[in-house]
Chains A and B, each alone.
Chain A
Amino acid sequence: MGYNQPNGMRQRRYLMRSVVLSVAVVGVVFGPGRLAHAQDTRDIVGHVRTVEDSTVLPGVAVAVIGLPATASTDARGFFELRNLPTRDHQLIFRRLGITPDTLLVPVGADSIDVYLVSQAVQLAPVITTAASPSRQRFEESPQASAVTIDAPTIQEMPAFFEADVIRTIQLLPGTIAINDYTVGYHARGGEADQNLIQLDGITIFNPSHLGGLFSTFDAAAVGEIDYLTGGFPAHYPGRLSSVLDVRSRSGSTDWGVSGQISLLSSKVLVEGPLPSRNSSFLVAARRTYADKVIQWFTDNVLPYYFWDVVGKLSFMLPTGGGLSVTGYLGKDVLRWEFAQPEPDVDPLALNVDWGNRLLGLTYDELVLGKPFQFNASITEFSTTVGFVPNIVQIDNDVRLLSANAQFWLTPGAKHDVRVGGGIEDYRMLYNFRSDALSTVYLDQTYQPRVWSVFVDDRWRPNRRLILRPGVRVEAIQGGADVTTVAPRLDAKVFLTDNLALTGSAGRYYQPIHSLRDHNSPWSFLDFWIGADSATPVGRADHFVLGFERWFNPTLSLSVQGYHKAFTNVLNYNIADDNKVQGDEFVIMDGTSWGVDVLLRKYVGNWNGWASYSLGKSNRRDPVQEFAPAHDRRHLLNLIVNGPGPFGSRMSVRWGYGSPMPYTDILGEWSHREYGVGANGFGDSEDEPIADPRLNQVRYPHYSRLDLSFRWEARAWGGILRPFVQFVNLYNRENIFIYIFNFTTNPGTRQGITQLPLIPSFGVEFEF
């Protein structure tokens, strides 16, 4: 992402700021007892962070001068150098866009924290971005089916009013959104509830606002994202299909204010130092105000808005460890006061609130010279629907308390073992009542508790082979009372330095489910239930085989075939009896297979990716076999970022999707209202009747072109970035649903489209 400056120079500002000036070292010596095996060799481990804001620096190459030993910092900024000769060493730190720097590490200083001062870098007009995280993964990890997306990539994408994390990952191979509106996404034929979505390791139950139009994540507060669509490692808790691991960025230790103003919403981000050294905070808040704008200019009312706040505190501990606290609070509010206000009469209104709130901490420390991490969090998603004052109230509250700890062990130069365990304590409450009528229609609780342990070994027997065996064992309590054993294995064979075969196999379990009608094109919210004596634990088996080819340091091609077998996938049971817990669903199994292709150019004046997915899914319930609503055979997305007109940066996204299934309508009926007193039928509603054979027909093809232009200008001591965006530029009438009318002769069908052409503009600012 680069912009024309008044002086003709271009400047590149990394979200993760580049390192150029100096290296500060804090050596932490834990005592001679911890170096027992270091009579002949020594190990050097440490974290690399920026000195301004203690942001961890992944992808930094660490080399020992005079020795072949090398390492790279991982996502936590951690590196290890094993089995070095017992003497002083000079380490050199490199990363693309960083001036190499060296550091003398004397004997005894085996655990170190490296602080690197960062500053903006003046670059040549060629726009570059460090490719090292992806290349690093290629070289060092057998993990297939993984894509890393950084914040600039997300912010550059054309979007519906603002940069959006979920919309971005929906453009990656193997990922399908049923339509422009629905909540969630589908990874390699899995259901939307099978995606583990975490912010700094804290699970988020519902990642969307406004029925999926906006994601929960404020892109300005996001640092980096790992998206794993299969074969994910054993430390991730139970989901069947994918992991979206979002890491928020730490605040800067310099004061800063940034934000965005657009037609629909505004947001602001404030960051700065905390009193303790190298500690910082970041707070970002946003609110939509279309409700206010419409009210100012028209007589119409849009009784909806949402707001959210995300914050992060990052502390550097005197021991050299790190502590971060992440919090999020968000709420969607639909407040429809449809009754005339009157004195002495409670206003009659429809109130619908839903939102996430979460709080979690991550504590990193070196214990006995080994990295140790502890996470604890509480996350909630609650929904309240009420006809007030007291006519009807529906409450759904999902809460998860979790704690886990993990160690990184290195029993030998070729093994990198990670062990850990934890607990997840769920509670899902459903209550549907009418205080006015003094009756309770539904009152159910699910309380699964999951104890887990895992071991995961990245094993490199030789330079051509990386293996990653692992296993996760979970004891699921709360009615289900089962113990699951989930073995996993990733393998990568390097045919050349730039070409590798990848494969993975694994078993996955999921103790919670979201009840959705798999026949519905639209899901507004997720309603979670947990495993108990009647609700089974979901299971999936993954098999992935493919290859990854790097043509040069900035261009790679990944091709992966997969097969997934699902057991105990749940479909919503429309005949659910509210007084019976355990009949809320119909149990299904199914399979998905496909091929995902990703050609990605990471950096350069022109960059982007082309993704193609071939997929086929089916589900079997006790009655029939059918294609789920997300069964899309072909999906193609082209993302191109490059220079645009008038000195802008341009981003283009074009997507094509083959037809999606829906269930045909066989006619309509008059659902008559029976009057008990009159013993007769009065009013009626004409309702469609669906074919009992699910998803036998398909909507037309889908395609959409989105376009955005961004400029950058300096003003008032800061930076302004105005932008113009177009969603669905050629106004393709992609079908969202069909509305049938068989009460006329002849019968008709009317299409309701997905997002039409929507232009928007706004400005980002940074001071």
Chain B
Amino acid sequence: MRSRRGILLAAVGAALVGCELEEVVVPSPEPIVVVQAVVRPDESQQWILVEQSFSGTENLGQPPFIPGVNPPAVPVEGATVTLSNVGFPADPCGATVTLLESAGPLARRQPGVYWSGAACPTMRPGDTLELRIVADDDVVTGRTVIPGANRMVLRTADDSVRMPGPALDFNRDTDTLYAAVDAIEGRVMVIETHERIFADTPEYVSEASTQFWADSTTLTLPGDLQNLFEAEFEDPGEFVPDLFNAGRRYTVTVAYADKNFHDYLRSANFPLTGRGFINSVEGGFGYFGSLTAEQSDLRAVADLDDEREGQYRMTGVVEGVSVTLNWELYLNRAPDSLRTPFSSFVVGNWVLGAYDAWTVGTFDGNEIETFLVQPTGSTLPGGEPALARWELTGSLSPTAQTTITVSGDGRIVGSLTAVKTGG
């Protein structure tokens, strides 16, 4: 399990009664070449991040997302970065593959991020890959053994899928998700969940994910697991959300990784000593690991415990378009004193056509507030940009027909008639 490193420091601080003294300026140490690299046979291009340790010469901002958003604070540019598959001398990519900062896709190109060509080097399970980085006077080397699996499987109470495969229904109240890897080579298994709004596009609610790992080839996730990684550990009695909320779609990534990635997962430098991280490169600091991964989706559902939960059908006209939506709505846990949140699968025809997504909203009694979004960059049939977001307000009744108002950009753009059809 990925640890929150702040917990330890907080615990230490809580136990002690010492005072913090004023900060004093210290000389800048010599920077160290830091390498963070994960190569993957399931990806067409490999990339490797090469940067410097912080030595008091830069003011750092928020951490960027790499590759593709903001560049690292102190990238090492112009280095010579090569990969060699020493286990496959006849690699058609050549004995040595050179990675270049300029070889990455435009949207993900950044200084300090070095990209290989497509499908190079060749990586087969059990192959040993060597990394060599020459940056000015520094030479950093590393070595990883490529992992592999014959197959990866996800299983719920009633169904299973060989990954990748169709989405599984997963009752968060009663099911435990079981993941297994039939391993060829490797050391550690990783399972990661993302919320995913749209069934047909790889767009996430956010880049945030929750990751668990085990030094084995099987892992389980109980449906009612609370998401410890969402806890702030600052105030007692905080609200810790569930990992799985019914009414939402999740992409589950299962990976199998090498020993170096295992060491990366399980170690960190202790704030009091600066030691603890298991360095897997020589001549610098960081890690050079490898993994292979597969993905499948889950539809999280739940037992229906509240009369507001269940199936609804909404019909009407929005922005001049006749729309029909089927809602599969579940209440979610919430902190006290707030409105009751819900999540709902929403399938049907919407303003831009077919719609298969999920959304969240809140109940206040039977009054709801919710919204629908379209995938980023969607356009109207005429090419005009679509509204990014439609707000839906009104009431839902388990027994009667109700009306939902639809608004966008501060104006009412339509209305829907809602009827509960099941549950």
Q: Which residues of A contact B (CB under 8 A)?
A: 181, 210-211, 301-304, 334, 336-342, 345, 348, 387, 390-392, 434, 436-441, 517, 519-522, 524, 574-575, 578-579, 663, 665-691, 733, 736-737, 739-756, 758
Contacts and interface: CB of A to CB of B under 8 A. Distances in A.
B216 A439 contact: yes
A391 B1 CA distance: 10
B320 interface: no
Nearest to B10: A336
B56 A752 contact: no
Nearest to B239: A340
Interface stretch (B31-39, B139-147, B356-364, B366-374): B31-39
Contacts of A675: 192, 207, 209, 211
A691 B29 CA distance: 11
Given A337-B237, A439-B218, A752 B20 contact: yes
Nearest to B227: A348
A676 B238 contact: no
A665 B18 contact: no
A745 B211 CA distance: 34
Given A667-B54, A690-B274, A674 B264 contact: yes
24 contacts: A334-B11, A336-B233, A345-B224, A348-B231, A348-B240, A436-B222, A436-B225, A519-B273, A574-B267, A575-B267, A578-B215, A677-B251, A679-B38, A680-B66, A684-B63, A733-B19, A737-B272, A742-B28, A742-B29, A743-B54, A743-B60, A751-B21, A752-B20, A756-B17
A344 B326 CA distance: 30
A746 B268 CA distance: 25
A736 B65 contact: no
B205 interface: no
Nearest to A735: B21
Contacts of B277: 574, 671, 687
Interface size class of chain B, counting residues whose CB lies under 8 Å from the partner chain: 35 or more
Given A345-B333, A519-B275, A690-B275, A336 B236 contact: yes
Given A340-B237, A391-B226, A688-B273, 10 more contacts: A181-B15, A345-B224, A522-B272, A666-B29, A672-B49, A682-B65, A682-B209, A689-B32, A745-B56, A746-B28
Contacts of B272: 520-522, 737
Nearest to B211: A676
Given A434-B1, A667-B31, A339 B43 contact: no
A750 B29 CA distance: 16
B58 A750 contact: no
A746 B25 CA distance: 6
Given A575-B263, A682-B207, A753-B21, A746 B26 contact: yes
B159 interface: no
B78 interface: no
B271 A339 contact: no
A340 B335 CA distance: 7
A380 to B, nearest CB: 23
Contacts of B224: 345
B311 to A, nearest CB: 24
B22 to A, nearest CB: 7
B53 A747 contact: no
Contacts of B267: 574-575
B15 A747 contact: no
A740 B2 CA distance: 25
Interface string B343-366: 000000000000000000000000
A495 B11 CA distance: 56
Nearest to B233: A338
Contacts of B219: 437-439
A303 B239 CA distance: 18
B24 interface: yes
Nearest to B6: A685
A391 B228 contact: yes
Contact of A687 (B5, B192, B333): B5
Contacts of A438: 218-220
B293 interface: yes
A644 B226 CA distance: 59
Contact of B53 (A387, A666, A749): A666
Contacts of A751: 20-21
Given A522-B272, A574-B275, A672 B67 contact: no
B57 A671 contact: no
A301 B236 contact: yes
B269 A687 contact: yes
Given A339-B240, A663-B274, A682-B65, A750 B20 contact: yes
What does DSSP make chain B's interface, helix, strand, loop or mixed? loop
Nearest to A750: B23
A678 B196 CA distance: 12
A680 B63 contact: no
B256 to A, nearest CB: 10
Given A666-B32, A749-B26, A758 B273 contact: no
B285 interface: yes
A668 B31 CA distance: 9
A203 B415 CA distance: 78
A316 to B, nearest CB: 45
A441 B215 contact: yes
B29 A679 contact: no
Across the A-B interface, give the 5 residue pairs with the lowest CB-CB distance, nearest first. A747-B56, A690-B274, A688-B274, A667-B53, A439-B214
A340 B274 contact: no
B209 A348 contact: no
A666 B30 contact: yes
Nearest to B242: A345
Nearest to A740: B26
B18 A685 contact: no
A304 B221 contact: no
Contacts of A304: 14-15
Nearest to A339: B240
B364 to A, nearest CB: 19
Contact of B59 (A669, A744, A749): A744
A345 B335 CA distance: 12
A745 B222 contact: no
A754 B18 contact: yes
Contacts of A440: 216
Contacts of B29: 665-667, 742, 747
Contacts of A337: 236-237
Contacts of A733: 19, 21
B295 interface: yes
A304 B16 CA distance: 12
Contacts of B22: 750
Contacts of B194: 677-678
A680 to B, nearest CB: 6
A758 B18 contact: no
Interface in B132-152: none
A74 to B, nearest CB: 42
A754 B23 CA distance: 16
Contacts of B55: 667, 742, 747
Contacts of A688: 269, 271, 273-274
A686 B253 contact: no
A524 B8 CA distance: 12
Contact of A665 (B209, B228, B274): B274
Contact of B275 (A439, A663, A679): A663
Nearest to B193: A677
Given A338-B236, A689-B53, A671 B17 contact: no
A691 B273 CA distance: 10
B323 to A, nearest CB: 32
Contacts of B228: 348, 387, 391
A677 B222 contact: no
A758 B293 CA distance: 56
B365 to A, nearest CB: 20
A437 B26 contact: no
Most interface-central of B11, B56, B267 (chain A CB within 10 A): B56
A583 B36 CA distance: 26
A639 B19 CA distance: 26
Nearest to A441: B215
B18 A756 contact: yes
